[in-house]
Amino acid sequence: MSGRFVTIGEAAGATGVSAKMIRYYEETGLLGRAERTASGYRVYSEADLHALRFVRRARDLGFSMREIADLLALWHDRSRTSAAVKAMALDHVADLRRRIGELEAMARTLEHLAERCCGDERPDCPILDDLAGGPREP
């Protein structure tokens, strides 16, 4: 109800989204055009801060800006189904799990190579040998 409005710096401090990113989100259309004072300063209402925190939280959960735009649309759509939201979330989880698997494979490969490397002052190193020769050489 209150008509309190804050500047972009205060909005940044209150939401954890940098002023730079707030402008960027506006520029790219993720968020609507902010209100302005007569002198051109952006001003933010409590509702705006709410949206910024939403974006921040979604970003922390690894959603892309494209996905966040979709989530915002679902958030604002009163006739959305929870099934739609859940599907998006699970899609994203699958994507995260896929990326985790890739990194995990890299880490395991490197750990195996490192195990076989004595790590002393001599130059012989199975890690470089693998990089040089590839893992499937005879």
Partner DNA sequence: ATGGACCTTCCCATCATGGGAAGGTCAAGG
Partner DNA sequence: CCTTGACCTTCCCATGATGGGAAGGTCCAT
Report the interface residues with DNA, using CB under 7 A.
7-10, 18-21, 23-24, 37-42, 59, 64-66
Helix (H, G, I), strand (E, B) or coil at 36: strand
Instruction: Provide, rounded to whole angstroms, the least separation between the CB of residue 48 and a copy of itself.
Output: 13
Give the integer Cα–Cα distance in Å for 136 and 138.
Answer: 6
Stretch in the footprint of a copy of itself (CB under 8 A) among 2-10, 22-30, 32-40, 73-81: 73-81
Residues 5, 44 contacting (CB under 8 angstroms) = yes
Place of tokens 């190193």: 125
Query: Which amino acid is located at 15 in the chain?
Result: T
Q: Which stretch binds a copy of itself (CB under 8 A): 2-10, 23-31, 40-48, 68-76?
A: 68-76
CA 75 to chain centre: 18
47 binds, among a copy of itself, DNA, none (CB under 5 to 8 A by kind): none
79 binds a copy of itself (CB under 8 A): yes
**Amino acid at residue number 93:** V
Contact of residue 2 among a copy of itself, DNA, none (CB under 5-8 Å per partner type):
none
Beta-carbon contacts of residue 117 (< 8 Å; ≥ 6 apart): 125, 126, 127
* Contact with a copy of itself (CB under 8 A) among 38, 40, 103, 138: 103
Considering the rule CB under 8 A, would residue 118 count as an interface residue with a copy of itself?
A: yes
